[in-house]
């Protein structure tokens, strides 16, 4: 007997209510609304990839969900890989813009790191699927056996395949944090630490929180996206990371 799964409506602070379904029949998926731009497709795809993963989302499924024919969808995105890359890049663009707005020229590594952490928390808190999407991209082996992150890894992998824009952008974001931590160590603000371990601590403490779903809600006793929870997360992550780094 073929298994049919129920659709689950997902909350989002963006303009489209996301829907996730594993291996659906086309007639099981209600159209949310007729999209009027490429951006609408990206919004719906973000929720589907966040909760279904790369392999769990089909282009027919996505086309049906947004009320398009499959050929119309391919007009905007020639392949699922192109769409997936565009969705991830969209999240990273928002994160990079947040970092730009929070950047200063004061030369204070402690204040800059706190501002950047605050900016990333703010970006992920405003886009419900984004944290889960980024967590999947960081750990899933699909669509690639491994995604290139650091600048050196990007340079090496570029010799074997064409890198997608989100990989280059993510490497740039991680490199910004790495250089800031290195500068803080050099001027005595931060104690000598492993840059890689520190970056993992920052990424893990921010991204996992916004990907934790029901577990996170249960642990803190309220929605992880509620205003008090987000403000508390801003404070807790900054204090946790900075206290561990300060010389």
Mean pLDDT of the chain: 82
Q: Do domains 8-78 and 91-245 have the same CATH topology?
A: no
pLDDT tens digit sequence for 153-169: 555 555 566 788 888 89
CATH number of 91-245: 1.10.357.10
pTM of the entire predicted model: 0.80
Domain boundaries, the chain: 8-78, 91-245
Contact indicator for 88, 56 with CB cutoff of 8 Å: no
Instruction: Please give the CATH topology (third level) of the domain spanning 8-78.
Output: Arc Repressor Mutant, subunit A (1.10.10)
pLDDT tens digit sequence for 104-153: 888 899 999 999 999 999 999 999 999 999 999 888 877 765 555 555 55
pLDDT tens digit sequence for 3-24: 333 333 344 444 333 444 333 3
| Closest by CA position to 46, among listed 6, 13, 5 | 13
213 three-class SS: helix
32 three-class SS: coil
């Amino acid at each position: 007997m073929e298994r049919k799964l129920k659709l689950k409506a997902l909350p989002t602070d963006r303009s489209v209510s996301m829907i996730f379904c594993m291996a659906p029949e086309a007639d099981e998926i209600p159209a949310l609304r007729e999209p009027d731009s490429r951006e609408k497709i990206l919004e719906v795809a973000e929720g589907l990839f966040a909760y279904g993963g790369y392999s769990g989302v089909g282009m027919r499924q996505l086309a049906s969900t947004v009320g398009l024919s499959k050929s119309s969808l391919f007009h905007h995105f020639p392949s699922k890989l192109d769409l997936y890359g565009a969705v991830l890049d969209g999240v990273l663009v928002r994160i990079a813009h947040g970092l730009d707005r929070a950047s200063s020229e004061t030369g204070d590594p402690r204040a800059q790191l706190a501002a950047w952490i605050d900016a990333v928390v703010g970006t992920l808190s405003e886009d419900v699927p984004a944290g889960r999407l980024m967590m999947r991209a960081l750990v899933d082996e699909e669509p690639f056996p491994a995604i290139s992150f650091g600048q050196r890894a990007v340079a090496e992998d570029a010799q074997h395949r064409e890198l997608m824009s989100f990989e280059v952008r993510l490497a740039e974001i991680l490199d910004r944090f790495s250089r800031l931590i290195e500068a803080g160590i050099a001027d005595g603000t931060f104690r000598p630490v492993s840059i890689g371990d520190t970056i993992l601590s920052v990424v893990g403490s921010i991204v996992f929180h916004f990907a934790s779903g029901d577990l996170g809600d249960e642990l803190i006793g309220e929605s992880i996206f509620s205003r008090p929870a987000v403000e508390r997360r801003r404070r807790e992550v900054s204090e946790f990371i900075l206290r561990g780094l300060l010389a």
